[in-house]
Amino acid sequence: MSYMLLIVEPTEQREERGEVAGRAVYDRMLKYRAELQSRGQLIAAESLSPVKKGVRLEKRDGQTRLIDGPFAEAKEMVGGFFLLNVDTYEEALALAKECPAAEWCTIEIRKVAPCYEY
């Protein structure tokens, strides 16, 4: 079964932290990633660029609209993710508790499921 840990962080956190401290926390995340990989629990993991470098796409009535970041309404952003291969929600939760980012971000735990599931 697949679960995703979404790393949700304040949009300005990286800039406020600075590069030196940012590299230190990134190294901690790389170690966490390596641990998950060594246990066979990791499918994929990536860090994402800041929301101000992103773009949103909407398509309505055949018209496509691109909206460049930063997005005024956004106070948080998905800063990265871990896609896990575990058997239960409890395992995913336990792994989220081990994630270093829980100290400075919110970890959202989501089961991978079809869009019609509610």
Walk along the chain (118 residues) and give the pLDDT tens digit of each residue: 999 999 999 999 999 999 999 999 999 999 999 999 999 999 999 999 988 888 989 999 999 999 887 777 778 999 999 999 999 999 999 999 999 999 999 999 999 999 998 8
Closest residue by Cα to residue 34 from 100, 102, 92, 86: 100
Closest residue by Cα to residue 36 from 4, 60, 72: 4
State the pLDDT at residue 105: 96
State the pLDDT at residue 73: 75
pTM for the whole structure: 0.89
* Residue ranges of domains in the chain, CATH in brackets: 2-111 (3.30.70.1060)
